[in-house]
Structure formats: C-alpha cells, structure tokens
Amino acid sequence: MKLLVIGSTGGTGRALVTQALDAGHQVTALVRNPDKMSLRHERLRVVVADAASGGPQLGEAIRGHDAVISALGRGRSFKAEGLIARAVPAILAAMQASQVRRLIFTSAIGVGDTIRNTPLLSRLFIRLFLKDIYADKLVGENAIRRSTVDWTIVQPALLTDGPLTGTYRFGDRLAMSGMPKISRADTAHFILRQLDDRAYIGKVVIVAY
C-alpha cells in the first residue's frame, strides 16, 4: 500500500516507517524537520510539512495514498499546546479533499470513555501529570468520531522502547492492573495489521501486554 505516516520522527512513528518498509509498503514520512529522519530507503519519501498548520503542503502529501497513519504527539512533554486539536481537523479536511478514506490514529489509553476501565494507578498518573495532553487528545478523538472517514483510534498503554514481540492483547476492553505497558514497536505492529483488517473501523481499540 501507499502509506502516509504523520509523526514519523517520534518513537512510534519511526517504528511504523521501519516496519511498513519491511512489509513492502511505499511510505511517505511527513516531517517538520527533515534532519530528524535519518532513514533512507528506495520506497521512502520524506515530505516537509506541518500537520497542525494544514495548508497546501499537507493536502499534496496526503493525495494518492491508501491510508493515513498518525503517530503525532508531544513526546515526553506534559504540555499539549493544542497540537492534536489543531492537527486533526487539518488532516481530516485534507483527506476528504483528496478522497483518502482510511485513517488510523494513535491516541492513548484512558482518553475519553476508556478512563473508566483504566487501572487506578494509571488514572492517578493521567490526572496528575497528563491532564492537558489528554484533554487535547480527546478533542482530536471527538473530531475523528464525527468525521466520515474510515477511522480506527488505537489507544496503546504506557509506551516503552522495548522490542517487537508480536505478542500483545487488544480489544475495546481489557482486564488490566497497575501501569499497563506496551512497546512502541508492538504498537506499530498492531497499527499496521489494521490496514488489512476492517474489524475496528469506526471503533476505539486498546493495545497492551
């Protein structure tokens, strides 16, 4: 497939680009700073654009792709700066203008209604440290839910730099305790599986060990 990866220089984004290329896909990596994309491959194209600003560069980047995958985030920052709230409407508008239907969006466990099924320790951490980040992600999720694209929202547990195992749990509800985790590599693995699986179109899915 022809894939556009937004947030491709972050940990999950790099894993997505690498695994997608390994699987034989053609990948366009959307970056703000091309110096951060050190990977080179004959099937990798790097496009400089800011998803949060929209504009013609974003529309041109999205045009002609089979799917858009967003791993956009603020990294280790506790300040959202409205990143997701600004980026999602721009991405959706560009997709609709280019008639690109498939969107897989990386959010986080506990955003929105899934907070009810998140373990107590995780809920405390979210409310103490990630309130701004989660509020921003929720605005983005709600905009995606209202859209007409074929969306899947993936909510990974606490992300780690662990290895790709291919062994993890997923579903709209999971039995969890403590601080559930999952590696960025396994999160990317699950996201790419959704390209050929329509089971979670129009749904939110949690991914954790």
Domains of the chain, CATH where assigned: 2-208 (3.40.50.720)
Residues 68/103, Cβ–Cβ less than 8 Å: yes
Residue 53 is predicted with a pLDDT of: 86
Q: If you write DSSP's letter for every residue of 34-78 in order, what string do you get?
A: GGG-----TTEEEEE--TTT-SHHHHHHHTT-SEEEE----TT-S
pLDDT of residue 77: 83
Mean pLDDT by 10 residues, the chain (209 residues): 96 97 98 91 95 88 97 88 96 96 97 92 92 96 98 97 98 94 98 96 97
Q: How many CB atoms lie within 10 A of CB 82?
A: 14
pTM for this model (two decimals): 0.95
Closest CA to 187 of 4, 12, 3, 29: 12
